[in-house]
Structure formats: structure tokens, C-alpha cells
Amino acid sequence: MADSVKHGFNNNALIPPLESGDRLNRHEFERRYTAMPHIKKAELIEGVVYLASPLRFRSHGQPHGQLITWLGVYQVCTPGVALGDNATVRLDLDNEPQPDVLLLIDKPARGQAQISEDDYVEGAPELVAEVAASSASIDLYDKKRAYRRNGVQEYIVWQVLENKLDWFYLQNGEYLPLVADANGIIKSQVFPGLWLSINSLITGDMTKVLAVLQQGLNSSEHTQFVQQLA
């Protein structure tokens, strides 16, 4: 038995605690995060550590669940696509976010992100969605910049308190807004058939959200996408 164990010395005591505002690289961030299993969500954004506050139901938990429901149905109907809830993503040496929801192409030859041997997402998922309290959130600033720079193809930010949802897509290295059609429906550029009735989602009409999604799933574009992934 090692002397440190015989004398009751805990090696984890040598690891500094993870605190909001710490400026770390990704490797040190992971070392400290792993040593503090009681912390459920911590993110490294542009080299700065952010620890999550307790989450409220109507302003975060409920909309988070609605995004999961919408994207989960799409994932079930689209073999070769994987859905993640609060999964850690290794973007680069200064960024290791834990997005609320992510959708990726789960095909090594087709997708741009991979699952590492220790079961983390490495690289940029094709789509990331975040629930933000307001427009002042880091989701619309540092985090958005990190996602853009690393090639996340589509980025959804739902500002719950402002009843607003922005859906960006990457073009020539910049995020441009996806615009709803005359029926108020936004259609993904990366995941054919992923359609969203924005107003229905914001007002909590999930029956309409899923009905519009089903229209997308019945489209010829989605059928072709599934065939390509197969």
C-alpha cells in the first residue's frame, strides 16, 4: 500500500477546485472537472470556466425538454443520426462546452464529430441547441463565436424570457440566420426533414411542433437523406 494511502492522504487534494472564472486550457479543465464528481455541469468557453447555476423549470427545464422531444423524434426516424443531452464536447484547446442538446451524423465517413475512446464528443457536432435566459447570455456571444470558429454547422438559441428563437447556419465561416417561410416554418439546411414551427414551440404547442416535424419526415428530402446515410 502506498504511503499516501496509509497516512490517509488523498491525491485529489493536490488538484485545485474548479471555480467559475478560472482561466484554464482544456486538459487542466478536464483534470479538475473529473476530480469533482459532485459538479453536474461545467463548461470551458474561450478558456474561461463557467459553472451552471441551479436551473428553473419554466425558464430552462421545460423548454429543454421540448427541444429534446422535437429533436428526439427526428433522431428516431433518421437512422445514422445521434442525439445528445448535455454531452461534453471537446471543441479545441480553449473550449469544452456541454450544450443543452446536440445532433450529429453518427457515421465516421460522413459526420464531422467523433466519439472518443473515453466516450466524449470530439470535434464539432453538426447542430447544437442552447436554452438561454436572455440575450445577455454567453450563448449568444463567446459560445456562439467558439461554435462558429470550430465549424458547428447549425446553432439554435432559444431566449425563453424574450420569447425568441434564433437558428443560425454556417456559410463561408459566418453564422447567418435561417428565415422562416410564409407558414412560420424553419427548415434545417444540414438535416433534411428537420422542420420547426417556431411560434408553436415558443407557445408550448408541442402537438403542432410534432405535426410540422412529421411533414418534414414525410418529405422526399428526408427520404433521400436516410438513403444516403444508409
CATH of the domain at 198: 3.90.1570.10
Q: Do 188 and 208 lie in a common domain?
A: yes
Structural domain boundaries enclosing 42: 3-49
- Backbone dihedral angles phi then psi of residue 162, each to the nearest 5 degrees: -105, 5
Q: Do 44 and 109 lie in a common domain?
A: no
Confidence (pLDDT) at 140 = 86
Q: Do 84 and 162 lie in a common domain?
A: yes
State the maximum Cα–Cα separation within the chain, in Å, rounded to a whole number: 72
Confidence (pLDDT) at 107 = 77
The tally of domains found in the chain comes to 2
Residues whose CB is less than 8 angstroms from the CB of residue 18 and which lie 6 or more positions away in sequence, other chains included = 29, 32, 33, 35, 36, 39, 42, 49, 51
Q: Do 35 and 102 lie in a common domain?
A: no
Confidence (pLDDT) at 136 = 61
Q: Do 203 and 224 lie in a common domain?
A: yes
Q: Do 61 and 42 lie in a common domain?
A: no
Question: What percentage of the chain exceeds 90 in pLDDT?
Answer: 78
pLDDT in tens, 13-43: 588 998 989 999 999 999 999 999 988 899 9
Q: Do 110 and 173 lie in a common domain?
A: yes
Q: Do 34 and 117 lie in a common domain?
A: no
Confidence (pLDDT) at 32 = 93
- Backbone dihedral angles phi then psi of residue 112, each to the nearest 5 degrees: -100, -10
Confidence (pLDDT) at 89 = 97
Q: Do 88 and 103 lie in a common domain?
A: yes
pLDDT surpassing 90 at residue 139: no
Q: Do 93 and 32 lie in a common domain?
A: no
Q: How far is Cα 102 from Cα 144, in angstroms, rounded to an integer?
A: 14
Q: Do 209 and 124 lie in a common domain?
A: yes
38 or 78, greater pLDDT: 78
Q: Do 12 and 59 lie in a common domain?
A: no
Q: Which residues of 16-53 are buried (b: 16+ CB within 10 A; e: fewer)?
A: eebeeebebebebbbebbebeeeeeebbbbebbbbbee
Q: What's the distance, CA 81 to chain centroid?
A: 14
Question: What percentage of the chain exceeds 70 in pLDDT?
Answer: 93
